Every structure is written in structure tokens, then in C-alpha cells.
Amino acid sequence: MSSTVAISNRQYRPVSGSKLGFPAELIMSILQYAAGGDDDGSGDRDLNVLRAACFVCKSWSPCAQVLLFRTIELPTMSLLRSFRSLIDSRDNGRMFSSAVRCLRIHVDINIGCDIIHPHDMGKILFQLPNLRTLYVNLNNVIEFPLPSLGLLRQSESPIKTLCIVNAYPSQVGAARQLLHRFPTIHTLKFCPVEDSSSNNDEPNPNLVSSGHFNWTDDSHATVAPRLKRLEIPDFKLEFRNFMEECAPALHTLWIGDIPMDSIADAASRVAKCANLKELMLDHLPPPSILSVLPPTLEHLSIADRFMHPHLEFPSIKFTTVALQKSPSLCALTLTQVRDYSDPKIIELKAKCELLGIEFQDDRLPLDPPSATRSPVHSVSDNTWVVQDSKHKSIGLRVFGWFFFLFFSQTFLSLFSGGNVQ
């Protein structure tokens, strides 16, 4: 059963079954299916379905509220205080804090009336025991102060995915600190800066570091980071050095822009990823990279931004030849191909078929998250007490699903001579 149900078993037992004869676990599963999204709080969710379900009947409300709290966004200190007050003051506050799977938080090293300081981030993480995904927008933060690291050390959140939103190369140090503190992290994404939406300032180069930091001497480290997936938006010095540090353990690597003068360096660092199974690039790789693909590679994904006939990059034909040198390759993905009737594309697809390699017209893994995100539940919405006609209409549809299931269950039980459980 999903982790959603695990929460209901462990943290919340409002009812063992509703008046319709459904156990809480079934209600949770159906609501999660109706609203969409993933167990870890990611993915698009229909929040209107969950809000409406709060008013269908009393036994549905706790289930819907738990799902509403799967993802929380805290861009300001006032919202963080509201959320903390909610989970501290209510009898079922611990249930809500335990339900959070994904947190999006904005942190700033500056002092301000509505700014979340790294200290406050450490305190709120301590109250989220089941957090899986952390999106942190670090404004003017290049490393966490030592007192903040002490607070982070108290948190036992089993974070699996860390996303540094609107990341600058100078923030690699802060990412290292979080990796040391949360050794459960296996995915690190440096999300590129979105000029149209980001209000981040590039970190001041004169900011004072909290002190010398490295992988082995940090007193707050538990074990050396063992990342399995790394995503970097470009090949600037800090990113590529970090990539080399993680290279031996990486299974998945996504690289955004690689400038022409860094291609040789990129090839040498990719060659050090001895256990790489998936490589995603945002342009057609030159021969120097294709020639060093590790034999463990199973999936090669190329975003086709530059795939034009007049391109000075090598033709797709070299990619076709390179396929024969990757014995473990089982999938090739090309995106944004403008002309699938191009003879070189046809030749590439034929070569894939001959070698038993699955040819995909789109990228298999999800793109790194951008500024355009699915709506998330904001603490200030107080959505479980808002009623309107739209929510009631959706609630009636949800109620119809349960009504149909109930009578189907009753009919089958009577027909078989059994009892309704």
C-alpha cells in the first residue's frame, strides 16, 4: 500500500469506517487517485477535489486534510509562523506535520521582518518527520551559518530529493552542507535561474563564509554523500567540480548548457562516472563525449535544441555509430526533433531497431522543475473551511463515486450471500 495509507495507519485514526461502510484507508486511496499527484507530494494535484471532499461527510474531512498537507509552500516568515501555530495549537497538528511530504521554502541570510532565516528553516524541518522532497530557494546564502547547522542536525527528516531553486554556482557549498546533514538524499537538482520569475539576487561575492568547509572535516557530517542522481544547469567551474566529486556513485546525470570551450573538460568528467546508467544532455553531444560513454549506460537522452542541418556540431550519424559502442544501452530519447523524415533520423531509428534499443520521441525522465509549478496548498488559504458552489459541485461528483462503490459492494455481498464488512 502507498505511503499515504501508511500515514493514516500510523498517525491518524479518526474512524475505522464511515457511515457508508468504507475504511479510512480506502477513502485515502480513492481521494488520492481522484486528486492526482504522487505520494511524495510532487506532481499536479486537483486541490479543488480535496477541498470539496472536506464537506462531503465528516469522516472524509481528515483524509482530505491530510492530502492537502502533502505539499506546503513557505515563501515568507509570516506564513511559516502561521503553519507552525497550526501544527502546535491543534490537537491533530502532529497529524498535519506528519502528512507533509514536500516543502518549498525561501531562505535569506539577511535580517528582515518577513524573511525566513536559515535558523528558522532548521526549526521547521525538525517538525516534519516524514519530509521526502525539499525545494529551497537560497537568496544571499552561500553556506549555512554554524548555529543553523546545529539546528539542522536535530532534524531526522528522511529527505530523498533536494532541489536548490534558482541556483547560482556559489551555492554549491550550501548544498554540500545539506547533503552531509541528510545522508538519505539520493537526488540533487540545481534548478536553473528563471529570469522571468526569479527575484533572487546573485549572491554577493564578498559574503563571508561560515568557515572552512570540506567533505571530511565538517563536524556535522554523518557519512559521505552518496548521490545517485545529479542535475546541473550548466558547466560552470563550481558545478563541474561538484560533479567530479560525486562521479563514482552517480547513476543519473543531467547537464544543461555545455559551452564549446568546455567540451573536452566535460568529456573527461563524464568518463569518470563509472557507474552511470542514464545521461541527459540539452544538446547533441559532440564526438568527444559520445566516445567516452561508460559501458554501464542504459539510457541516453538528448534535448534537440541545436539539431539543425547547418549546425557546426557533428551530424546525427556519429550518434548512430556510437550506439554500437554502448553494450548496455537499451533506450535512446530525442526531444524537439523538427523533422522526423530527415534521412539521418530515419537511419538512427533503424540502427536502434537493429540493436534492440528502444527509440523514444520524448524524454523518459521528467525535466528539472521550472518556475511554472503546480499549485500547492498555502497555509494562509485555510482551505478546509472555505465553501463555494464550485467546491460543492466537485464534492457531489466525488460523493457519486463513493455512492456507486457502496451499492456495488452491497449488491455483490447480497448476491453472494455474504455480509457487508
Indicate the domain borders of the chain.
Answer: 1-68+386-421, 70-152+159-195, 242-372
Nearest residue to 246 (alpha-carbon basis) of 176, 166, 326, 174: 176
Least confident of 35-39, 280-284, 326-330: 35-39
The pLDDT of residue 187 is: 94
Side-by-side strand order, sheet with 102-108: 358-360, 331-335, 299-303, 278-281, 252-257, 229-234, 187-190, 161-165, 133-139, 102-108, 71-74, 377-378
The CATH T-level fold of domain 70-152+159-195 is: 3.80.10
Which CATH superfamily hosts domain 242-372?
Answer: Ribonuclease Inhibitor (3.80.10.10)
Give the chain's mean pLDDT.
Answer: 70
**What's residue 292's pLDDT?**
86
Residue 345 has pLDDT above 70, yes or no: yes
Q: Is the pLDDT of residue 171 over 70?
A: yes
Task: For residue 123, give Cα distances in angstroms to 117, 220, 416.
Answer: 10, 16, 56
H or E stretch at 343? helix 343-355
- Nearest CA among 141, 156, 51 for reference residue 105: 141
Give strand pairing partners of 253.
Answer: 230, 279
User: Per mean pLDDT, which range of 2-16, 100-114, 144-158, 253-267 is the poorest?
Assistant: 2-16
- Give residue-wise pLDDT tens across range 104-153: 999 888 777 788 888 888 889 888 889 999 999 988 888 888 888 888 88
Predicted confidence band at 275 (pLDDT cuts at 50, 70, 90)?
very high
Q: Would you say 47 and 377 are in contact if contact means Cβ atoms under 8 Å apart?
A: yes
Whole-number Å distance between alpha carbons of 359 and 349: 6
Nearest 5°: the CA angle 287, 290, 296 is 165
User: 231 or 305: which carries more pLDDT confidence?
Assistant: 231
pLDDT value of residue 25:
65
How far is 291 from 266, CA to CA, in rounded Å? 12
The backbone torsions φ and ψ at residue 63, rounded to the nearest 5 degrees and listed phi first, read -65, -45
Mean pLDDT of 27-37: 63
Which pLDDT score is estimated for 164?
93
Q: Do residues 140 and 172 make contact, with C-beta atoms less than 8 angstroms apart? A: no
**pTM score:** 0.70
How far is residue 173 CA from its own chain's centroid? 20
Predicted local distance difference test score (pLDDT) of residue 1: 37
* The two domains 70-152+159-195 and 242-372 share their CATH topology (first three levels equal): yes
Lowest mean per-residue pLDDT among 52-61, 135-144, 205-214, 257-266: 205-214
Q: Which amino acid is at 128?
A: L
Res 387 pLDDT > 50: no
Q: Higher-confidence residue: 110 or 64?
A: 110
Model confidence at 373: pLDDT above 60: no
What is the spatial distance between Cα 368 and Cα 362, in angstroms, rounded to a whole number? 14
Give me the helix-helix angle, 146-153 and 172-181, nearest 10°: 30
Strands (E) across 37-180 are located at: 71-74, 102-108, 133-139, 161-165
CA dist., res. 380 & res. 382, Å (int) = 6
Extract the C-alpha cell encoding 386: 472555505
